[in-house]
Amino acid sequence: MAYSIILQLCALGGTAMFTLGIYRLYFSPLAKFPGPKLAALTSPIVRINPWELHIRDPDWNEVYMITRRAYKPVWYYQFLGTSGNSFTSIEADVHRMRRDAIQPHFSPAAIARHQPEVEQLIGKLMGRLAAFKDRNEVVNLGDVFRCLATDVATAFAFRTPFGHLDSIDFEHAGNMAVRQFGVLGLLNRHAGGRLLKTMALQLAVVIKNELESTPNSEEGEESKTNIIQQILTSNLPPLEKSPGEYRDNRELPEKAIRLREEIQQLQKTLGRPPIYRELKELPYLTSVVNEGLRLDGVSGRLPRYDLKQDMTYKGFVIPNGTVVSTTQNDTNFSPDIFPDPHAFLPERWANETDRKRLSKYLLPFGRGARNCLGMEIALMEIISRLGGCSPLMLATSWSCTTRTTTAMWHCSMTTFRHFQRARGV
């Protein structure tokens, strides 16, 4: 009797799987779209799973347009077990309401008020690096720039930085732990968001305590507490936005020299160290930043869907409710757009005509209504860091030692080298 029941269940399960397979192959709304093997030969649009399409076309951006009310798939974006903030908002209307409440605090004018704090942190970093050089010691730049990014973000959010730049080893253990969040987030996506839910609840307690311990501003002063409350529900610039603008000048000596001379010439003209507003007008420094952001953009795909309107792509009609994604790396490493795409060539941005043509393909902070809210503070940190560090670090030659994927630096004669990271969808 039990054996018969097992056979019946197996037969039922097999029939269900067969029926589901036939439906997905021939009757599903996405059945007309090619799968991976066929798409590799015939089309840039591919069905990557039964409910999602991926488009490899730099000129297609319909799903990301500001006018489109695109939704985010729940399972993909709640990878850290969090909810209730602008980054993980699923509905377009809810996202807009939450974003509008905090948008003014991330405007260029608002960010510019924090420039002295950023300059102070970069000055501290310069002192630390000079000390390593004097002691003839090794420093891990992956840790260094994560500490700088953390201190800049927390100084902006909490008035006082976490002080990671003061750490003897630049918080190496903590930075290594942070790097594992990508793996944990991937697992969490496929565990229904349960894997990190406990951690999210514990983090909420930390945030609550921080809010309660922050005193209110005096009347007439800028409300720092308000900024803290708003920033905690925003998507701060990720640590990955510390791109590889620093490269080994043994390989690229003319680029290093040109960057240093441009910054030094501006400083000579001004009679003082330049500030962010002045640095971002430098053409070659801007080209270096653009090229660094291109080579080290976000590698994950950006899935969206529209519940009400169909989308189109080269004769294909994509049914409403279908998740569609693209990947920045498909654009950033397209030889048709960026010849020799894996080479670090700031000169490709030097010509004004080329710069205008390429700029529409450079989207390191996303695009559309859901682009990165912290873009301006990220750019200020990157450009100020380049402007502050380059004259000293490029004034001498540097020797580099690489162990596995971590760039280690010997500070007797050192230059910055790109911190290698894995890529992929």
Q: How far apart are CA 310 and CA 321, in angstroms?
A: 8
Give the pLDDT confidence score for residue 371 in this predicted structure: 81
Report, as an integer, the average pLDDT of 88-98. 78
Element (H, E) at 253: helix 253-270
Q: Strands of 406-410's sheet, edge to edge?
A: 138-140, 406-410, 399-403
Q: How far apart are CA 31 and CA 17, in angstroms?
A: 17
Q: Do β-strands 323-325 and 316-318 pair in parallel, antiparallel, or remain unpaired?
A: unpaired
Partners of 317 in beta bridges: 312
Give the pLDDT band of residue 243 (cuts 50, 70, 90).
Answer: very low
pLDDT, tens digit, 9 for 90 and up, residues 156-194: 887 788 899 999 889 888 888 877 777 777 777 766 656
CB atoms within 10 A of CB 74: 13
CB atoms within 10 A of CB 127: 10
Known binding positions for heme: 372
| Alpha carbon separation from 93 to 29, 61, 230 (Å, rounded) | 27, 20, 18
Give the number of C-alpha atoms closer than 13 A to the C-alpha of residue 16, restricted to the C-beta side.
6
pLDDT: which is higher, 395 or 202: 202
Domains and CATH numbers, the chain: 69-298+333-410 (1.10.630.10)
DSSP secondary-structure letter at 33?
S
Residue 310 has pLDDT above 50, yes or no: yes
Q: How far apart are CA 364 and CA 297, in angstroms?
A: 5
CA angle 417, 421, 425 (to 5 degrees): 150
Give the pLDDT confidence score for residue 290 in this predicted structure: 93
Of the candidates 263, 267, 266, 226, the one whose C-alpha atom is nearest the C-alpha of residue 245 is 263
Alpha helices in 23-140 (DSSP H): 36-42, 74-77, 92-102, 108-112, 115-134
Sequential DSSP letters for 273-317: ---HHHHTT-HHHHHHHHHHHHHT---SB--BB-SS--EEETTEE
Element (H, E) at 402: strand 399-403
Of the candidates 405, 329, 365, the one whose C-alpha atom is nearest the C-alpha of residue 176 is 405
Report, as an integer, the average pLDDT of 262-280. 90
Give the pLDDT confidence score for residue 385 in this predicted structure: 86
Q: How far apart are CA 79 and CA 75, in angstroms?
A: 7
Q: Under a CB-based contact definition with an 8 Å cutoff, are residues 276 and 121 in contact?
A: no
Give the pLDDT band of residue 133 (cuts 50, 70, 90).
Answer: confident
pLDDT: which is higher, 352 or 243: 352
CB atoms within 10 A of CB 123: 12
Q: Strand, helix or coil at 410?
A: strand
For 126, the token pair is 């310069």
Give the pLDDT band of residue 208 (cuts 50, 70, 90).
Answer: low
Give the pLDDT confidence score for residue 334 in this predicted structure: 92
| Alpha carbon separation from 254 to 158, 262, 415 (Å, rounded) | 41, 12, 13
Q: How far apart are CA 130 and CA 231, in angstroms?
A: 33
What count of residues does the chain have? Answer: 425
Q: Kindly report which listed range (15-29, 79-93, 169-183) carries the lowest average pLDDT score.
A: 79-93
pLDDT: which is higher, 83 or 275: 275
Q: Under a CB-based contact definition with an 8 Å cutoff, are residues 143 and 155 in contact?
A: no
Sign of CA dihedral 82, 68, 338, 415: negative
* pTM, 2 dp: 0.76
Give the pLDDT confidence score for residue 25 in this predicted structure: 85
Known binding positions: 372
pLDDT: which is higher, 425 or 38: 38
Residue 139 has pLDDT above 90, yes or no: no
